[in-house]
Amino acid sequence: MRFFLLSLRNAQHNRNRSITIAMFVGVSVLVYLLLNAFVSTAQNKTSEAITDSLLGHVQVRPNTDDVAPIIDMSADWGTSNHFTSTQVDTALDVFDRLTNVEATPVIRLNMLVGQVSNETTVRDGGEQVGVVAIGFRGEIDHYLQNLKLETGSGLGSGHNDEVVLSSSTASKLGVSPGDPVTLSAEAINGTVVTLRATLVGIGDAQSLSGFEDNLAYISFNVGQQLKGLAQGEATEVMAFGNSIASAKSLRGNVDETLGDEFLVTDWTTQGGFISGISTAFTGIFYVFLLILMVIVCILIVNMVAGVALERSKEIATLRAIGYDKTRIIMIFLIEVLACGAAGAIVAALLAWLIGAALRTHEFAVGSPADDVIGSTFTLHYSPLAGLPGTLVILMIVGLSSLIPSAQASSRNPAEALNED
């Protein structure tokens, strides 16, 4: 392997060309690292918002024919599908035995929130707002990671029947924390149930505002009453794992144990159109990166082809003294990769410095991205997060040097030696 010395010496000898290759690769890596940090920060923020405020990491629902992703344009939160108290206990028991994560019964439903004109009745002709609601037990507060309370408190503040509304819903109704509101929903037997609850908190979603403007959090017993469920029954069981990355294995463990009557899903398949929007933004990033890499590849191919032409006598000499084609290709490859790696290291250092400088800066996010990732954005740069992508860039650079170097090494050495 010592013949790689020639690669390094060539890189050293042709300083301008080496710097150019290093710059191409360095700029690509820098752009990639910073964009990747932006995209992964945004994606993490969205994913955490989805799991914290809407889905948890794993969901267990009745296994019926009409199951759609929970957050989907076609999802029906007014469905009559639900678990009996025995099924809820079975699911909770499985989580308890197999995992150390927090599982809780949940009620999902569609409902109307209305103003109360006096202590007992809905105001005639008063404003009513349709919302989707999740009924949590009072001790569950994951949703507050994404729903930043403006006034009041979260569920479990001491009232029996509690509701937390988004600021836009509260504003439409003209209500404040402490005010009574009426909640109406269709129960599983088809009757409309109306009851009075106390608005305990108003908040705005940091991410997913496009969805959470119409989302309300209600106490679990309110959900049960509105849905017409008996004590212990629930529409589903939700579990909050240790991280979004561990959701799949958590789902797998639980799914293996629970019977066919249970449908076990994880957040990655239940995000519906919200996950779709997030994926679209990520896709745009990768398309941009692909275009950048195509440009870099063309430049590298051209440059190596030029070098190969310039060094045709040197290559022929190496062939004459016993170097085979593979070794000659390797000499070019190592030369290009050494320059590329130097550029990548400089770029990684620069990206780290920029990432550190931007760590405290809050970027304003414009429409429509703000509906998904929130109106402000703070970059979280992780040096290791970009490592796999950087290696892929270097691999692409190496591959793009293979074609011209393979052509150069395949030339008849006798012909190349006789050229002027």
Partner 1 sequence: MISVHGLTKRYALGSTVITAIDNVSLDVRTGEFLAVGGSSGSGKSTLLNIIGCLDRPDKGTVVIDGQRTDQLSEKRLNSVRLNNIGFIFQAFNLISSLTVYENIELPLLIRKDVSADERRTRVNTFIEKVGLADRRRNKAHELSGGQRQRVAVARALATRPGIVLADEPTANLDSHTGIEVINLMHQISRDENTTFIFSTHDPKVMNRADRLVRLEDGRIIEIVDNAGRDVSIIDKIESAGKYTG
**What gap in Å lies between CA 198 and CA 182, rounded to an integer?**
9
Instruction: Give the footprint of partner 1 on residues 168-207 (CB under 8 A).
Output: none
418 counts as binding partner 1 under rule CB under 8 A: yes
Kindly tell me which residue out of 68, 245, 320, 387 binds partner 1, with binding defined by CB under 8 A: 320
Of 66-74, 256-264, 293-301, 408-416, the window that binds partner 1 (rule: CB under 8 A) is: 408-416
Task: State yes or no: residue 309 binds partner 1 (CB under 8 A).
Answer: no
- Using CB under 8 A as the binding rule, whether residue 414 contacts partner 1 is answered as yes
Nearer to partner 1, 49 or 315 (CB): 315
Smaller CB separation from partner 1, 246 or 317:
317
- CB-based contact 133:109 (threshold 8 Å): yes
Q: Does 137 bind partner 1 (CB under 8 A)?
A: no
Residue 332 as a binder of partner 1 (CB under 8 A): the answer is no
- Is position 317 an interface residue for partner 1 (rule: CB under 8 A)? yes
Q: Please, are residues 82 and 233 in contact by the beta-carbon 8 Å criterion?
A: yes
Rounded CA-CA distance 398/338 in Å is 10
* Cα(65)–Cα(392) distance, integer angstroms: 43
- The stretch among 57-65, 153-161, 323-331, 347-355 that binds partner 1 (CB under 8 A) is 323-331
> Residue 2 or 361: which CB sits closer to partner 1?
2
Among 137, 196, 248, 327, binds partner 1 (CB under 8 A): 327
Stretch that binds partner 1, among 31-39, 195-203, 319-327, 396-404 (CB under 8 A): 319-327
**Nearer of residues 7 and 46 to partner 1, judged by Cβ:** 7
Q: Give the shortest CB-336-to-partner 1 separation in angstroms.
A: 15
Question: What is the smallest separation between the CB atom of 31 and partner 1, expressed in angstroms?
Answer: 31
Question: Please, which residue, 248 or 313, has the CB nearer to partner 1?
Answer: 313
Task: Report the distance separating Cα 90 and Cα 80, nearest Å.
Answer: 20
Give the number of residues in contact with partner 1, rule: CB under 8 A: 26
Q: How far is the CB of 269 from partner 1 (least distance, A)?
A: 53
310 binds partner 1 (CB under 8 A): no
Interface residues for partner 1 in 8-27 (CB under 8 A)?
9-10, 12-14
Site for partner 1 contains 2 (CB under 8 A) = yes
Both tokens assigned to 111? 């409902």
Residues contributing to the site for partner 1 (CB under 8 A): 2-3, 5-6, 9-10, 12-14, 313-314, 316-324, 327, 412-414, 417-418
